[in-house]
Structure 1
Amino acid sequence: MKNNRRYTDLAALAAHLRQELDNKKTILLYAYNGTGKTRLSMEFKNIGKQGDVRDTLYFNAFTEDLFHWDNDLNGDVDRKLTLNASSHFFDGPAELEMDNRIRPLLQRYADFDFRIDRENWVVRFSRTVDGQIIENIKVSRGEENIFVWCFFLAIVQLAIDGAEAYQWVKYVYIDDPISSLDEHNAITVGNHLAQLLNKPGSALKVVISSHHPLFFNVMHNELDARKSKNVSAYFLSRSKSDGSYSLAYTGATPFFHHVAVLTELYKAEQSGELYTYHFNMLRSVLEKSASFHGFSNFSACIARDADDPDGVLHARLINIMSHGNYSLFEPQPMLDENKAYFRKILHEFLSRYPFNPDLFPQPVEGADTP
């Protein structure tokens, strides 16, 4: 992946994305949690918001917050999901029969039903068990997320079809729609979304960002980002030294998450800016590599020392370091001893499974290297 120009802040990056969409239909972004994906989506939205005029329909954590539960704590009977009716997101439900538009979408993923109370702006859920309908149920968090997602998809469909209530939509920005879904549903959601966006005649411009590698790969393939001149795909990263942002073009070949992760780990190792969460990232690479080579455990991809023929020490170290409370949002620097172990495991992995050296940066002069 070759590096493009850097952007001083998210506002500058958002402006660039809008400019690129003058000549593109879709932009795909892959980034780790904590990079600033949600904030980028809001910067993108804010550029097109002038008073009551807006141009971006977006799905992100703020969209999910337009829905919140009233669990009827007093009666514990009438549980319902309330809607923030003041949002332009809900411009159309009263007139456009949203129930009938959402239901076919929801049935792809879930076995519960719902009804929208347009007078009180609430949604009530039900489920059929042994032939009996149980009303006013509280669905799980994952089921709630998929309902909100289907609500959003129904609105996107209305915008594509030119419904009057959503004629203000010029851009659609989608940030991580599958945070609570398993891999099967990640594939289904990606495939379904691509079908919708590939619909002939749609004039909408779309940005999709995600930290989920499988979902990103599905979208990359379904939108044919390798060949299409209307689609750009990037790896988004943020510099810890100056806070700037950069986009790395994923190239004309399918995006490989583990390669992108390796380049980030290598940069961190070369700069000496190693944090405890880098062990989580390294473990992810080892697990994917082990699976590719047919091994049942990531330890098979760790080089063995003469005094540790089974690789127990390094495997245990990665197990311990990748299961602690090491947050991306409050990163903790590695201890020097753990840095040494990390570097040893990483360099031996790269030596054992050689990758294209052009993908990795040259050592930083004066860096804290072994």
Structure 2
Amino acid sequence: MRRVTPFKKLDGLAARLRDDLATTQIVLLFAYNRTGKTRLSMEFKNIGKRKSKKNPAPVPDTLYFNAFTEDLFVWDNDLDGDSVRHLDLNSDSNFFKALKELALDETIDGYLKRYADFDFDIDYTAWKVSFRKGDQDNIKISRGEQNIFIWCLFMAVCERMLDGHVSYQAHKYIYIDDPISSLDDNNAISVACDLAKLLRKAVNRKDGTGVAAPIKVIFSSHHALFFNVMCNEIGRAVEDEPRVAHKRYFLHRPANDGVYTLQSTEDTPFFHHVATLAELQRAADPVTGMLYTFHFNALRSIMEKTASFFGHSSMAFCLKALNNDEDRALFNRALNLLSHGAYAIHEPTEMGEDNKALFRRILSDFIARFEFDVPSLPAPRAPRPVRAASPAPVPVEAPAP
């Protein structure tokens, strides 16, 4: 069983990631939304600016991309004239400090043409960006197009950093958190491949004299496809390049109580459904857990995703894989009956004891049959109080999904 390391605070977790980068080149983190990835990225960069025994002369040492980076770009929609729309850039941010000298327009455009079909103009005096397409000027682009433009600008800044631009001499790290919100899967794959190529260049970087001068990297995402492509691209062998030393982790916050857990995923990335299975195991614990009827919805969803992964259209594939004919029929009736709207998460109803026992059997058999490597999460601080069980609904036959 892989070790799960708990952290009570984000500063300890961020320090652990910096320690990791002393012995490896890239750290890849998978964590689903609301885990604290953005706050972790900010804590990581703040360590470099904080005076300590290890860092007596602090300087900003991290170029980062996260939700705060995207917030530096704000729309002016010309509410009066409704015709001249543009993005305002927050010129007070250090992110734009050297933008005028970097001459990024051509590099940004080189990336942008891979993903989009609009053009842009940056006004460095007024600190604004306008967009055009064909014969239309000052157009409003979609949120997805806006995000991809910001991402292309960031990639262009990264290239200048790797080229050794004077504005980034003190930077030793790149931290990228969830760069692809609002992107479709097609663009997600393209962006991941381009990013992996850039990061390989960063960790194999050399200075003007040929001496190794790597930029270490942290990458985090909740997007399973993007994360998987990144793992494959970073982990594969490339001709005439050394292999990239990297670590992969599943970052989790088991009980939303401020405790974070970090688990190495070795060769197999964790995805969000594995995290959900861990939560269901916690809820199903007969001593400390609390099972509600909506947990059947979650289990059904995981079975459907698992069936889809193996190329099947229905969770019946997962049920057929179980060993006991009687259990298969019972599980099918239970999942169909207990995983619909009457048992919504908005009006949680505790399961009856019979259904709790049935749920535990389904969950246990499913995990065992498909050999999920579910993380062993720390136990809650104290057992939850025992509540009176709701009456168990009577299982009835329901149509197949």
TM-score normalised over the length of structure 2 = 0.78
Shift of 1:314: 1.6
Bigger strand fraction: 1
Partners of 2:222 and 2:19 in 1: how far apart? 23
Contact kept, 8 Å, 1:279 with 1:321, in 2: the verdict is: no
2:305 is matched with 288
Shift of 1:188: 1.2
Shift of 1:211: 0.9
After superposition, what is the alpha-carbon deviation per residue over 1:73-116, rounded to whole angstroms, capped at 9, x for unaligned? Answer: 00001100010001111122212222111001011111111010
Report the CA distance shift for 1:345/1:137 in structure 2 as closer, same or farther (over 3 A): farther
Number of positions where the alignment pairs a residue of Structure 1 with one of Structure 2: 357
2:99 is matched with 93
Contact kept, 8 Å, 2:27 with 2:247, in 1: the verdict is: yes
Partners of 1:320 and 1:344 in 2: how far apart? 23
After superposition, what is the alpha-carbon deviation per residue over 1:226-276, rounded to whole angstroms, capped at 9, x for unaligned? Answer: 99562010001123285321211112x232424454344323432415578
Unaligned runs of 5+ in 1: 327-331
Partners of 2:331 and 2:359 in 1: how far apart? 18
Unaligned runs of 5+ in 2: 52-57, 207-213, 390-401
Contact kept, 8 Å, 1:302 with 1:314, in 2: the verdict is: no
Local SS of the residue matching 2:44:
helix
Contact kept, 8 Å, 1:58 with 1:173, in 2: the verdict is: yes
- Give yes or no for the alignment of 1:347 onto 2:344: no
TM-score normalised over the length of structure 1 = 0.84
1:201 is matched with 205
Shift of 1:345: 3.9
Report the CA distance shift for 1:361/1:144 in structure 2 as closer, same or farther (over 3 A): closer
Matches within 5 A, 1:163-174: 163-174=165-176
Contact kept, 8 Å, 2:235 with 2:244, in 1: the verdict is: no
- Give yes or no for the alignment of 1:245 onto 2:260: yes
Matches within 5 A, 1:1-370: 2-50=2-50, 53-128=59-134, 133-199=135-201, 200-201=204-205, 203-224=214-235, 230-240=245-255, 243-251=258-266, 253-257=267-271, 258-259=273-274, 261-270=276-285, 271-273=288-290, 282-302=299-319, 311=332, 314-315=335-336, 317-318=338-339, 320=341, 335-337=350-352, 342-351=359-368, 353-355=369-371
Percentage of matched positions with identical amino acids: 48
After superposition, what is the alpha-carbon deviation per residue over 1:265-292, rounded to whole angstroms, capped at 9, x for unaligned? Answer: 3234324155788666534532332123
Local SS of the residue matching 1:208:
strand
Moved more, 338-347 or 179-188: 338-347
Contact kept, 8 Å, 2:200 with 2:244, in 1: the verdict is: no
Report the CA distance shift for 1:154/1:320 in structure 2 as closer, same or farther (over 3 A): farther
Report the CA distance shift for 1:218/1:166 in structure 2 as closer, same or farther (over 3 A): same
Shift of 1:141: 0.6
Report the CA distance shift for 1:278/1:125 in structure 2 as closer, same or farther (over 3 A): farther
After superposition, what is the alpha-carbon deviation per residue over 1:8-33, rounded to whole angstroms, capped at 9, x for unaligned? Answer: 21011001111111111110111111
Provide the aligned C-alpha RMSD in A: 3.5
After superposition, what is the alpha-carbon deviation per residue over 1:318-341, rounded to whole angstroms, capped at 9, x for unaligned? Answer: 35489x676xxxxx8662348666
